Amino acid sequence: MNKPKIVILGAGYGGMMATVRLTKELSADEADITLVNKHNYHYQTTWLHEAAAGTIHHDRTRMLIKNVINTNRVHFVQDTVRSIDHKNNKVILKNGEIDYDYLVIALGFESNTFGIKGLDEHAFAIRSVNTARKIREHIEYRFASYNSDPDAKDSDLTIVVGGAGLSGVEFLGELVDRIPELCREYDVDPKKVRIVDVEGMPFVLPPFDRTLAEYAQKYLESKGVEFKLNTFIKEATPEGVKVQLKGSEELEEIKAGTVVWTGGVKASHIPEDSGFETNRGKIQVTPDLRSPEDDHVFAIGDVAVVFPPDAERPYPPTAQIAIQEAENLAKNFKHILHGEPTEPFVYKPKGTVASLGEKEAIGVVFDHKLTGKPAAAMKKVIDDRYLLMLGGVGLVLKKGKLKFL
Ligand code: FAD
Ligand code: NAD
């Protein structure tokens, strides 16, 4: 093989970090690197709940890819991946095709609506800069219309959030910061606004430490959020949602002007639709993060699934694991190109911190529980650490959060 061509699909956490690390691990003579992404910008999904509520501008969550990667080393292609023809080492794009010697699939996640009636049509999902922007504008439009549209109803000011996992709870935390501002701006009586979270499990944040989850629930309730636990969203309609309490036959309607679904995610449909063998839509990768069917194809981030040793449940899909996978992948490319054995990927979880708006948070970091301001500060440290790893001090100064403390 001449100089091998490495093609990376997706410029999220996994794809961006893999690209940046590959340019450091490999010299220009060792490989050609191409990065393909739908947009010319990289966005931080982990900040999108803030952009969706309108507590930060969406431009703070994104950065131009050309400002972060070394464009002398990386060929950037702005295009949408349609499918992967891995029998012929080819990626089919909306506007053409690309050949590869090695492929890295890092196409991330899609919202999972589990076939629930009406959700695709009548609910929003926090998935990208564009979907976050739509949610912010929709909520603001509801407030702007309330005093100007003769047909406006009180229920137009109700926001239903579907699911109280980490995304749902973080979004609720931003909403309780944002709604008082919107009320002031549009002369709306705060008592008219309802924020209702519907969660199928008997408690919020099902996989989280219980005392921290209760802290989050109590904090959000103190700010006016109503939780409907043990309750499932069964349908979304133009008027709101229909929900069902566990064990009940009855459906209850909650009228709402805005429904935001945070009830789950799944992998990008591209690997499965391209014929890769998958486990619930994800490529169950080998210890060095390759497809078991094709050792020239790697998968990282939310399109890959990795199991802890001897465990039945895989690691959850997070930015944290995507970043660590990207680092392992870049090192392994050096080994592969030098004919050396690869290093198996070993995940080192550092903990989880969930924001509850600007000044509150909960988290477990290296087995230490945090709440309140220290947790909120830790969340900003985590956000800035990623920027530091990706683009150095310059990127932290440009986009970081700690300077806003
Ligand atoms: P993504 O970050 O989803 O990136 C995929 C990239 O591929 C995107 O740039 C996308 O535009 C591009 N793309 C997709 N399809 C195509 C296509 N067909 N053609 C071309 N380009 C395409 N995890 C944490 O660890 N900590 C957190 O605090 C945290 N907070 C979160 C908050 C929210 C609101 C949400 C929704 C998730 C959060 N997560 C968090 C989970 C985390 O965001 C994901 O696990 C992570 O984004 C996965 O990274 P990735 O690189 O696999 O994919
Ligand atoms: P999730 O799958 O973790 O949570 C979805 C929630 O929706 C669950 O509590 C589930 O019981 C509930 N649900 C599902 N169907 C329902 C229905 N019909 N009616 C009512 N409730 C229903 O999804 P997520 O919160 O989007 O998280 C996705 C991934 O991103 C996870 O791996 C998570 O760890 C990660 N994440 C991490 C952070 C962080 O570290 N701060 C923040 C957000 C997301």
Using the predicted structure, report yes or no on whether residue 375 has a pLDDT greater than 80. yes
Mutate to test the pocket of ligand 2, among 166, 174, 196, 321 (most ligand atoms within 8 A of CB): 166
* Average pLDDT of the segment spanning 271-276: 98
What are 210-223's pLDDT values in tens digits? 999 999 999 999 99
- Helix (H), strand (E), coil (C) string for the chain: CCCCEEEEECCCHHHHHHHHHHHHHCCCCCCEEEEEECCCEEECHHHHHHHHHCCCCHHHHEEEHHHCCCCCCEEEEECCEEEEECCCCEEEECCEEEECCEEEECCCEEECCCCCECHHHHCEECCCHHHHHHHHHHHHHHHHHHCCCCCCCHHHHEEEEECCCHHHHHHHHHHHHHHHHHHHHCCCCHHHCEEEEECCCCCCCCCCCHHHHHHHHHHHHHCCEEEECCEEEEEEECCEEEEEECCCCCCEEEECCEEEECCCEEECCHHHHCCCCCECCEEECCCCCEECCEEEEEECHHHEECCCCCCCCCCCCCHHHHHHHHHHHHHHHHHHHCCCCCCCCCCCCCEEEEECCCCCEEEEECCEEEEHHHHHHHHHHHHHHHHHHHHHHHHHHHHCCHHHC
**CATH of span 113-263+350-405:** 3.50.50.100
List ligand 1's pocket residues with C-beta within 6 A. 10-15, 36-39, 45-46, 48-49, 80-81, 106-109, 126, 167, 170, 268, 270, 301-302, 317-320, 322
Q: Kindly give the distance from the C-alpha atom of residue 265 to the centroid of ligand 2, in angstroms, as a whole number.
A: 7
Closest atom of ligand 1 relative to the 303 alpha carbon? 52
Q: How far is the CA of 389 from the centre of ligand 2 (A)?
A: 27
Residue 403: is its pLDDT beyond 70?
no
User: What integer pLDDT is reported at residue 4 of this predicted model?
Assistant: 97
Predicted local confidence at residue 402, as pLDDT = 77
For residue 243, the model assigns a pLDDT of 98
The answer, yes or no, to whether residue 405 has pLDDT greater than 90, is: no
Nearest ligand atom owner, CA of 114:
2
Q: What is the pLDDT of residues 282-336, one digit of tens each?
A: 999 999 999 999 999 999 999 999 999 989 999 999 999 999 999 999 999 999 9
List residues with catalytic annotation: 170
Same topology between domain 5-38+79-111+266-349 and domain 113-263+350-405? yes
Atom of ligand 1 nearest to the CA of 352: 26
Read off the pLDDT band of 1 (50, 70, 90).
low
46-80 pLDDT tens trace: 999 999 999 999 999 999 999 999 999 999 999 99
The confidence score (pLDDT) of residue 147 equals 96
CATH of domain 5-38+79-111+266-349: 3.50.50.100
Rounded to two decimals, the ipTM of the complex is 0.99
Domain ranges of the chain: 5-38+79-111+266-349, 113-263+350-405
CA of 343 to the centre of ligand 2 (A): 31
Res. 404 pLDDT band, cuts 50 70 90: low
Mean pLDDT, range 238-251, rounded to an integer: 97
Question: Tell me, what's the pLDDT at 207?
Answer: 82
